[in-house]
Amino acid sequence: MDLEKLLELEDRIGIKFKNHDLLLQALTHRSYLNERPKWHLDHNERLEFLGDAVLELVVTEYLYNNYPNPEGELTNWRAALVNSIMLAKISAKFELNDYILLSRGEARDTGRARQYILANAVEAVIGAIYLDQGYVACDGFIKKFILDELREVLESGSYKDYKSLFQEQAQERAGITPTYEVIKEWGPDHAKHFHVGVYLEKELIGEGVGPSKQDAQQAAAESALKNRGW
């Protein structure tokens, strides 16, 4: 990727980097290095790790300072703002997909796996901003692109805990407590993916996929609520 392309992304996110390699590393997916072993930068997973922590802190601080709600509600709101589905959606605000460096195989996959790649890249970009510009710049970026979604999250009720909701409905309507089983898991330890099913007794009601068992269970519960019309 040439400098002109990086400058284009900088314009989109409103951040001018001192060290462009930090931004470039944030865009470098692990698969890209498999085809380019002489690439001069590491992949973006360490930046993702850092950015995840910064993102959670900024969102937590904002919610704490602006809403008197109890901890449980704030936790659910935060989860709705920082999950992979939301971050992938936010990535479209600055067309991040156009800048990610992927292997040819990964570039062809535009399904759910791409969603996680984009979400992780958003976190990596936040990590890069933190190292290059500090906390204040991260705070501005997160408020502009991520906390901007809070009103919609609250109005739509998307912060709700689908697993708890499905359990309540299943017990009330069917007298059964749902159970969850991992149908399939794949990927290396640092990037696992889980396919989970939720069952009422032996009947499969919904399925979900996620980067953790918890995320996959939430997706399965949401699917089950829709499938049952609850």
DSSP line for 108-177: H--SHHHHHHHHHHHHHHHHHHHHHH-HHHHHHHHHHHTGGGHHHHHHHTTTS-HHHHHHHHHHHHHS--
Does an H or E element contain 9, and which?
helix 3-13
98: which residues sit within 8 A by CB, 6+ positions away?
Answer: none
41 φ/ψ sector (left φ>0, alpha ψ -120 to 50, else beta): beta
207: which residues sit within 8 A by CB, 6+ positions away?
Answer: 183, 195, 196, 197, 198, 219, 220, 223
DSSP line for 66-102: H----HHHHHHHHHHHHSHHHHHHHHGGGTGGGT-B-
Residue 168 among the catalytic residues:
no
62: closest CA among 122, 127, 150, 156?
Answer: 150
Which among 48, 106, 123, 215 is annotated as catalytic? 123
127 φ, ψ (degrees, to nearest 5): -60, -40
Residue 123 among the catalytic residues:
yes
Which among 48, 52, 132, 139 is annotated as catalytic? 52
| Cα Rg of the chain, angstroms | 19
Catalytic residues: 52, 123
